[in-house]
Structure 1
Amino acid sequence: MHNIHINDTTLRDGEQAAGIAFSPAEKIALAQLMDVIGIPELEVGIPAMGGTEADAITAIANKGLKAALLGWNRAVRSDIEASIACGLKRVHISIPVSSIQINAKFQGNCTLVFNRLRDTVNFALDQGLFVSVGAEDSSRADESFLLDVALSSQDWGASRFRFCDTVGILDPATTTHKVSLLVAALSIPVEMHTHNDFGLATANALAGLQAGATSVNTTVNGLGERAGNAPLEEVIMALKRLYSVDLTINTRRLRELSQLVNQASGVTLPPWKAIVGDNAFAHESGIHAHGVLQNPATYEPFAPEEVGCERRLLVGKHSGRHLLTNVLKQKGITLNSEEAQTVLDAVRNLSVQMKRSLTVDELIDLVPNRRMSHGII
């Protein structure tokens, strides 16, 4: 679990989410911020799409970023030529490996899969490009066939092999088994690409890394097709905090990056989103708030500042007197025990009616006579 490499695909697979379309300026801004934060590799899009997509990729390639830039391609020579035209030096070549995908895209002709992949890899290498090969639908492929594709890719000169759980059907135990077989057979790095159809993208990505994969695809906020991909912020913080793997990425800007993706995608995160959601460090219930006021570690796995967030203490239906009096005291209002209970009852009733926690101003409005610590309002 050391020397782990992040290859973020927000600008490719993330943007492929239904209803998402980044402008060239947005793609450039996102690439620049991820570069500043320290993400080492970015999959910046699909050059063969042409038009504004190719323009954005070319502009990113001309920015002189520290991050390595990768273009996504089919096993088609013209796709590689489009990547070269955009100024990219690294290409990812995707090929289907499961029966269901090969039947749909190559009329069930497995020989054609090998021939197309070999010819495209050879062409890319002849152009002096770094080549990554992606096995689409690896998780549903016959294991021996998948291994043949992986070993052939390595023999032809690919520098990395991507294991794709394309429809998100794996669990961590199965991921460990399948990835371990690849890692044991290959001398080139194995990369994890996981989808979240069963809510297991992060868990499966980590399981693959534990099994010996050394590279992992992520997207900011888990943006991606259908239920999304493994979220960048979750993978980074899990590696840092659960496995003591520090990727030298500036995690204090993860919230900022998340919000920029929100703005560009027009998608609002659920407040309970791990790491960067509005409620990730919010406390309302009496027991939790009391504990956090004593020691934040009682109910927080790490300090919110570590990911650019802030702790929030909210007064609502589940709050207790300790939190209520603490919030009011910060506003210079002191209550005795009886007054505090009266206000708390009012808070709970109003919170149920409004179906949310209360703002500080709404809380203050419930205080009778609003006695300040230094006098009367």
Structure 2
Amino acid sequence: MKNMVHGDIIIDDTTLRDGEQTAGVVFSKKEKIAIARMLDAIGVQELECGIPAMGEEERDSIRALVDLGLSARLITWNRAVIPDIQASLDCGIMAVDISLSVSDQMIAHKLRKSREWVKEQLKTALGFAKAHNLYVSVGGEDASRADIGFLCELMEITRELGGDRFRFCDTLGILDPFTMFDRVRALRSGVPDLDIEVHTHNDLGMATANAIAGIKAGARFVNTTVNGLGERAGNAALEEVVMGLKHACGIDPGVDTHRFVEISRFVGKASQRPVPAWKAVVGERVFSHESGLHADGVLKNPLNYEGFDPAEVGLHRHIVVGKHSGTSGLVERYRNMGIVVNRKEAVCLMEQVRTIAQRMKRPLSDKDLRRLYKSEHRGLKAA
């Protein structure tokens, strides 16, 4: 792994806001409190915790989070209108995201307004928020389809009125990492003294890559959700972004990763969206090895076929015995079961293992392997 740089990257996790906007997902107040506490405990620096304008029940949950006294900053999502911001203030919130549609597509066909109207709306909403001493992120909805020059104008207004950062949103998840890098780099150059946040969606399967590309281009803040929850195909996954920064980029965002699997399972259950066994970073079987060459290599030295120690995220290695296995993996699997098998025995057993796996179209369980071992030994004794 590269030499680790302790970068000034802020994770703003939005599981409790955009994650809950996944179609059909609802978190109870108790679940929101548990999720917030876990994310805070591992060092996530900021939690986007809800939309106060949704109603009293939502505001009640947000107040309960405020009352926890977490180390993480709590920030709420708001339309760029005064009543929404006032609803956040009424919850005891001291940081807000105020969202504006910024692409010509949405300005014309959603808002049915003009660029000038958007700029005036920003001035009014931001002025109100700063007059109440709020920390403000200005969210550019559909920024990935917006004119860069217009985004720079909005960023200049944000900076001049005391806004704290600008959120570049790939709302439709249509960017590739190279374009994301270029867009964020252009905004950094255009308005160098205003922090940028990146908010990415996974419609084309590139949310994590786009989030990391935005960071490498100069964004300081990045939105994530546990398990990649979010609207449509979801958002950049917390566990993927953090581990990608650490192991692909050599940047440590200061998050303790050892509880990732625990948090992933909890959110999976609370959202009724079980975590697939093959889910990157936290899937139950992402450290499973069946191929004979791979199993042999990882048993000799895990770094041969594992980019990081599974314990780093709360997982463990699993040797699968199936059609593609070799004798090294079979011997190790039996050893883990408390059965000593020598190489000669393993060679004899392997042909049967492959036949059984082919017939059953699955790997062999511990029960299957015990039965096979007993059968083989009975055959040897009879001989």
Give yes or no for the alignment of 1:177 onto 2:174. no
Which residue is equivalent to 1:266?
Answer: 272
1:124 shift after superposition: 0.9
Contact 2:349 2:376 in 1 (8 A): no
Which residue is equivalent to 2:328?
Answer: 322
**Are residues 70 and 332 of structure 1, via their aligned partners in 2, closer, same or farther at CA, if it must alter by over 3 Å?**
closer
- Show structure 2 runs of 5+ residues with no match: none
Give yes or no for the alignment of 1:165 onto 2:170. yes
- Distance in 1 (CA, whole Å) between partners of 2:165 and 2:330 is 55
Which residue is equivalent to 1:205?
Answer: 211
1:334 shift after superposition: 4.0
- Distance in 2 (CA, whole Å) between partners of 1:275 and 1:26 is 23
Computed over aligned residues only, the root mean square deviation of the Cα atoms, in angstroms, reads 1.8
Which residue is equivalent to 1:285?
Answer: 291
- Distance in 1 (CA, whole Å) between partners of 2:250 and 2:267 is 27
SS where residue 275 of structure 1 aligns?
coil
Amino acid at match of 2:41: V
**So what's the TM-score if we normalise by structure 2?**
0.93
**Are residues 287 and 211 of structure 1, via their aligned partners in 2, closer, same or farther at CA, if it must alter by over 3 Å?**
same
Contact 1:99 1:108 in 2 (8 A): no
Give yes or no for the alignment of 1:80 onto 2:85. yes
1:46 shift after superposition: 0.7
Give per-residue Cα distances to partners, 1:306-359, cap 9 Å, x unaligned: 111111111112111221122223334344556434432332233334433222
SS where residue 280 of structure 2 aligns?
coil
Give yes or no for the alignment of 1:251 onto 2:221. no
Contact 2:11 2:224 in 1 (8 A): yes
Which residue is equivalent to 1:297?
Answer: 303
Amino acid at match of 2:264: S
How many residues align structurally?
373
Give yes or no for the alignment of 1:362 onto 2:372. no
SS where residue 100 of structure 2 aligns?
strand
**Are residues 51 and 352 of structure 1, via their aligned partners in 2, closer, same or farther at CA, if it must alter by over 3 Å?**
farther
Aligned residues: percent identity?
Answer: 49
- Distance in 1 (CA, whole Å) between partners of 2:126 and 2:299 is 58
Give per-residue Cα distances to partners, 1:170-211, cap 9 Å, x unaligned: 111111111111111221110011111111111111111111
Contact 2:331 2:342 in 1 (8 A): no
Contact 1:364 1:370 in 2 (8 A): no
Instruction: Work out which of the residue numbers 131, 139, 145 in structure 2 matches 1:134.
Output: 139
**So what's the TM-score if we normalise by structure 1?**
0.94
Greater shift after overlay, 148-157 or 42-51? 148-157
- Show structure 1 runs of 5+ residues with no match: none
Greater shift after overlay, 354-363 or 313-322? 354-363
Contact 2:265 2:275 in 1 (8 A): no
Instruction: Work out which of the residue numbers 315, 339, 359 in structure 2 matches 1:333.
Output: 339
Give yes or no for the alignment of 1:39 onto 2:44. yes
1:163 shift after superposition: 0.5
1:111 shift after superposition: 2.0
Contact 1:193 1:205 in 2 (8 A): yes
- Distance in 2 (CA, whole Å) between partners of 1:371 and 1:355 is 25
